Amino acid sequence: MLLAVAVTAAAPVNPARAQSAAPAFVDFDWVDPARSRAVPARLHWPTSVAPGSRVPLIVFSHGMGGSRRGYSYLGRYWAARGIASLHVQHAGSDSSLWVGNPLTVVDRLQRAAHESEALARAWDLHFALDRVLSSPYGAQIERRRIVAAGHSYGANTALLAVGARVMREGQWVEARDARFAAAIVISAPPFYGESDLASVLSKITVPNLHVTATNDSSKFPDTTRPLPIG
């Protein structure tokens, strides 16, 4: 059902009807074979795409415990304005964190905040972008207008995707994807516990839009220790 709706939306639409039509979306259940990792995603697609034209694409990363279904209000908003958005779900730090014994939720959150998962999330964006560009939608995506975006943990995922990096055991942990021309960073928490942000962010060369409140903070449940990455 969703696939049929999304395919219809990708085809030329009568502009007179476009104002009243709801933006469409399609869900993908991809698996990255190189990492044996599920990478679900939801693509919000503009209702009206003129024949031969191309649309910008935002690749969006959710916060801790989120999913591809979250932030749908952003997907609808962008789609209504002619912008496609691909909302990627990160299997190691998604809504499955809230399922199971409530007494062990803090342990699950701590595992999800590990640097290995932080890096895996950035590679999720890379893989999902590969897949959508090679799909039938790819021909209508403007390659020069692809943006990485995210909220909270996802904000730092987006920063990694555009060039942020940290030094660990004498090696840089990084996952830059040169296809991203800009980033939208919403409520980014302290970057992986780093204090030298000049070093962390020095390799980012694309424009960034940061949206953060002065009293924003992230904490583990029932503790006073700041959550370092989301």
For residue 79, count other CB atoms closer than 10 A to its CB: 23
Structural contact between residues 41 and 89, judged by C-beta atoms closer than 8 angstroms: yes
* Residue 102 pLDDT greater than 60, yes or no: yes
Torsion of Cα atoms, 120 then 65 then 178 then 127, to 10°: 60
At residue 72 the predicted structure's pLDDT band, cuts being 50, 70 and 90, is: very high
The reported pTM is 0.81
pLDDT at 38: 96
Compute the average pLDDT of residues 26-49: 94
Pairing type for strands 24-32 and 55-61 reads unpaired
Nearest to 156 by CA among 175, 128, 170: 175
* Residue 8 pLDDT greater than 60, yes or no: no
pLDDT at 216: 65
Phi-psi region of 16 (alpha: psi -120 to 50; beta: other; left: phi over 0): alpha
pLDDT at 30: 97
Tell me whether residue 76 is exposed, middle or buried, using C-beta atoms within 10 angstroms of its C-beta: 0 to 12, 13 to 18, 19 or more: middle
User: Side chain identity at 55, as an amino acid letter?
Assistant: V
The mean pLDDT of the chain is 81
Task: Name the phi and psi angles at 116, rounded to 5.
Answer: -65, -40
- % of the chain at pLDDT higher than 70: 80
At residue 73 the predicted structure's pLDDT band, cuts being 50, 70 and 90, is: very high
Q: Which residue has the higher pLDDT, 229 or 191?
A: 191
pLDDT at 7: 32
* Residue 218 pLDDT greater than 70, yes or no: no
Q: At 147, which helix (H) or strand (E)?
A: strand 141-151
8-state DSSP, 21:
S
- Residue keyed to tokens 């942000």: 197
pLDDT at 37: 95
Distance CA(54)–CA(65), nearest Å, equals 33
Q: How far is CA 139 from CA 6, 18, 23, 25, 133, in A?
A: 15, 21, 19, 17, 7
pLDDT at 113: 74
Per-residue pLDDT reduced to its tens digit, 136-195:
999 999 999 999 999 988 999 999 999 998 888 788 888 999 999 999 999 888 776 677
Q: Which residue has the higher pLDDT, 224 or 48?
A: 48
Least confident of 1-5, 66-70, 156-160, 195-199: 1-5
pLDDT at 104: 65
